[in-house]
Structure 1
Amino acid sequence: MRLKIILFFLSCQTAVYAQNFKFPALPNQGKSLSDFIPKNWKILDSVSGDLNQDQVKDMAFILEYHQQIRESRAYGDNTTELITEIQKPRILAIYFKTKQGYQLAAQNNNFILRSEEGGAMGDPLRPMGIDKNQLSLSFQGGGEWRWKLKYTFGYQQKNWTLEKASNYYYNANSGELTDKQYDFVNQKMMVTTGLGKQSKAPNETITHDFKVKSLRTFESFKKPWTWEINPDEFL
């Protein structure tokens, strides 16, 4: 009985501590990756490559907090549909390489999906990538219906702009699939539909113009699944 009481009070203290959680402000400058990891946070993924076209390797990494907290996350759009979940917060950090070391280029506390947001497939986070001065962020999840999301950001005019994206979803049993590829810079969209390998009929691909008023950034595109591109079509 005494052990149960002690465990109960420990859980209460953890819950109170979690309510006081605040995202840390990452260091503005440093020499190496270890200089940027706050106390009680760990590295989940990191990648290096040239992001600002200066021919030197910059770096991006994802941090995760050591315990779960109550966190309100947007679904459906950026403001009205908020769901409170118990999960470990994550941070995306981007640093540019300089002669003095590394300089903070972006800290984003919202865009990276948490470990509980992948459905039956578990943690949705997939490895990051840097290619042709662009940073790609990938996620995967679902159950019978599964989805794969990829977002490619470029550094333009001192801002991180969403330049390309893909939304691929398919049925694990029937093979039915839809693959949407978005090119926001050239304002083109390519849509492939079909039954995949379970059908002898070839998949059908249609390419058409895709107009956007302005390119999305980390600030205007809060997290995956919150941009309603067309009615009932979310990215």
Structure 2
Amino acid sequence: MRLLVFLTLLLFPSFVFSQDFRFPKLPEYASGYEKIAPKNWNVIDTVYGDLNKDNNADMAVVLEYDSFISENRAYGHNDIELITEYQKPRILAVYLRDKLSQKLHLVVQNNSFVLRAKEGGIMGDPFRRIEIDDNTLILAFEGGNEWRWKLNYTFKYQNKDLILTNANSIYYNVISGEMTDHIYDFLDRKLTLVSGNIFSRNIKNKVDEETLIFGHPRKLSEFKKPWTWEILNNNFL
């Protein structure tokens, strides 16, 4: 009985706190990553590079909350396939640097897209890297158990937002090598599907191509969690 009461006291404050949790609005302007983290938030990764082709170092930052909360995360359909997980929320923020003042201006804050530390299976934290290269923002995730997956997303700055231009989704078995590799080109609206064995890539694998049919280009600001955008029938990214 004492143990039950003790566990209840431990869990109850966390439950109440999670109900009151709200994502903060990050500062609209900043001089660097050191000044943008709100109270109880920590910067876990920062990259600089030119995103809008003005030869100035823009900034992308990933922040993580310092406490675990109960958070609803989508798996599949954004609205109905929700799983409540006890984890630390994360934020992805992108700032562009003003050429004259050199101040950084917030253009995108996404509270859903970056996978949380417990969403990688036995491989641990699935967040691998964030990078700015050749005027593009790149995010990479990896996780799984015996069946592993890798996700890579590439965004370009257009019309005051970051637009998804390319993506890559690999699903493979670490023992048998069985693999499917989806390569998405949203500029040419083309999907290349490579299937076969990851240990014999580019040798005996089957390659198919399909036209991608979608409405407006997907913006980073409206992106939900990975695997919640059904591009084609039973094809999620």
Q: Identify whether the pair has TM-score above 0.5, normalized to the shorter chain.
A: yes
Q: Is the 8 A contact 2:33 2:43 kept in 1?
A: no
- Residue 168 of structure 2 is matched in structure 1 by 166
- Residue 43 of structure 1 is matched in structure 2 by 43
Taking the aligned partners of 2:229 and 2:88, their CA distance within structure 1 comes to 23
Taking the aligned partners of 1:213 and 1:7, their CA distance within structure 2 comes to 49
Is the partner of 1:113 in helix, strand or coil? Answer: coil
| 1:1-235 to 2 correspondences below 5 Å | 9=9, 11-98=11-98, 99-197=101-199, 202-235=204-237
Q: Is the 8 A contact 2:108 2:220 kept in 1?
A: no
Q: Give the total of aligned pairs.
A: 235
Q: Give 1:18 shift.
A: 2.7
Taking the aligned partners of 1:48 and 1:191, their CA distance within structure 2 comes to 33
Taking the aligned partners of 2:79 and 2:220, their CA distance within structure 1 comes to 15
- Tell me the amino acid that sits aligned with residue 120 of structure 1: I
Structure 1, unaligned runs of 5 or more: none
Shifted more, 210-219 versus 116-125: the winner is 210-219
TM norm structure 2: 0.90
Is the partner of 2:114 in helix, strand or coil? Answer: coil
Q: Give 1:100 shift.
A: 4.1
Q: Give 1:151 shift.
A: 0.9
Taking the aligned partners of 1:155 and 1:200, their CA distance within structure 2 comes to 32
Taking the aligned partners of 1:81 and 1:3, their CA distance within structure 2 comes to 34
Q: Give 1:199 shift.
A: 8.8
- Per the alignment, do residues 30 and 179 of structure 1 end up closer, same or farther by CA in structure 2, a change over 3 Å counting? same
Q: Is the 8 A contact 1:189 1:207 kept in 2?
A: yes
Is the partner of 1:92 in helix, strand or coil? Answer: strand
Q: Give 1:10 shift.
A: 5.5
- Per the alignment, do residues 170 and 20 of structure 1 end up closer, same or farther by CA in structure 2, a change over 3 Å counting? same
Taking the aligned partners of 2:2 and 2:78, their CA distance within structure 1 comes to 46
Q: Is the 8 A contact 2:14 2:69 kept in 1?
A: no
- Tell me the amino acid that sits aligned with residue 60 of structure 1: A
Shifted more, 198-207 versus 153-162: the winner is 198-207
Q: Give 1:196 shift.
A: 2.7
Taking the aligned partners of 2:109 and 2:221, their CA distance within structure 1 comes to 11
- Tell me the amino acid that sits aligned with residue 51 of structure 2: L
Is the partner of 1:197 in helix, strand or coil? Answer: helix
- Per the alignment, do residues 222 and 200 of structure 1 end up closer, same or farther by CA in structure 2, a change over 3 Å counting? closer
- Per the alignment, do residues 205 and 37 of structure 1 end up closer, same or farther by CA in structure 2, a change over 3 Å counting? same
1:12-40: CA deviations, max 9, x gaps?
33432232111111111121211101111
Q: Give 1:209 shift.
A: 3.2
1:50-86: CA deviations, max 9, x gaps?
1111111101010000111111111112222111111
Q: Give 1:8 shift.
A: 6.1
Task: Give the alignment's Cα RMSD to 1 decimal.
Answer: 2.4
